[in-house]
Amino acid sequence: MICILTQHFNLNRILLLSIGLWPENSKFRRVQTTLCFSILTSFVIFQFTALITTKCTADFIIKIFSSATFFSFYIIKYNMFWINTHHIRNLLEQLQYLCNELKDENEFAIIKKYGNNSKHCTVVLTLFTICCTFFLILLPIWPQILSTVVHINESRIQRQAIQITTEYFFDQEKYFYLILLHTSAVICIGATTLAATGTMLLGCIIHACGLFRITSYRMEQIMTTKVFQNINLKNRTTICNKIFYAVEIHRKTMKFTNFLLTNFQGSFLFIIAITVTSLSLNIFAVYRSASLGNNEAILLHLIIIIIILLYMFIANYAGQEITNYSNHVYFTAYNIQWYMAPLHAQKMILFILQRNSQVFNLNVAGLFVSSLECFAMLTKASMSYFTVLYSMQQ
């Protein structure tokens, strides 16, 4: 028996608990989610309020939107899990139910292997998130660190320190460290949200790949049996049962994957739109910062670009893997010696052959198919928007 919650999703659970997104009902969780969401939302609002008090040039508007769209990405991700808490619980329950239906040690070994892959991905992405968070928090205060070695005017330090433009409607020099605390809290909560929600969805997709692999394994086992040497009533029943188990886990795995996609479909569309927009704006912001010689701003926007590209690549690569594993089930069913099975068993194999004659993939609202091709398309679209901004600036 495998307990996926404690064996495969323990780190994901800790990350989600830290920001109040783990599916449980408690007063503390409600307070925690409200507080975290308010901190994230207020920071984006205070960025847009700068448009009210400052002269809106093209460069200033792009500077505001390049950072505001990225932090809006945090809000969408947080809200996506907050309003779908019960769906997350149902998703984990479905996955546990599928794991409980495994038949032999080889199938347990397969799901454990993919569970370990899920844990390793979570650890690596969490460490990457910690490094980026540390760097983003350190970036605003590095002038203060250098000022202990090289004498720099305090007001100049504060002007250089925070590259994210905000307007709080009070003296920002006087409350500089309070603003810095708010910025650091947003970065920590947002980064944890991105890591926690992303690795949870990625872990579910990796497990779905494992279940497709088990489907292929069951199809292979059907034709390796020696019962074809002596077809009798008992052997016919054995063959039909094995085909039934293969078809059943294949059907339930597709249902599990569709359940994952359907309940987050609207949020995925918002995420695609916001990431493409933010990517193009931040590429342009890097170009403008390089023209002005603002090295701190260049570093900030480069980190944002790397995070967005990495997120887009992992999401689309996971979708590509789902397609590849689903296709492998079809090839396995097609290549086995199905013609040696009894006639009624051959008809049962047709369930898988007919279903997989159409490619199974992660299709978001019929507009985007998660794949490496989609990643290239979205990146190309971002570069096209950057080219438009560049030509307008010229």
For the stretch 115-130, pLDDT in tens is 999 999 999 999 999 9
Query: Domain count of the chain?
Result: 1
In 10 A of CB 392, how many CB atoms? Answer: 9
> What is the model's pLDDT at position 157?
46
pLDDT at 226: 54
Question: Which range marks the domain in which residue 138 is found?
Answer: 4-393
DSSP assigned state of 369: E
Q: What is the pLDDT of residue 204?
A: 93
pTM of the model: 0.89
Calculate the average pLDDT of the chain.
Answer: 84
Residues 138-197 have pLDDT tens digits of 776 665 555 554 444 544 444 444 567 888 887 777 778 888 888 889 999 999 999 999
Lowest mean pLDDT among 140-144, 196-200, 274-278, 329-333: 140-144
**pLDDT at position 69:** 93
Q: Is 358 helix (H, G, I), strand (E, B) or coil?
A: coil
Assigned token pair, 134 = 């540390």
User: Where does 264-294 have alpha helices with state H?
Assistant: 265-292
Provide the residue type at 239 as one letter: I
- The whole-angstrom separation of Cα 241 and Cα 235 is 10
The confidence score (pLDDT) of residue 234 equals 63
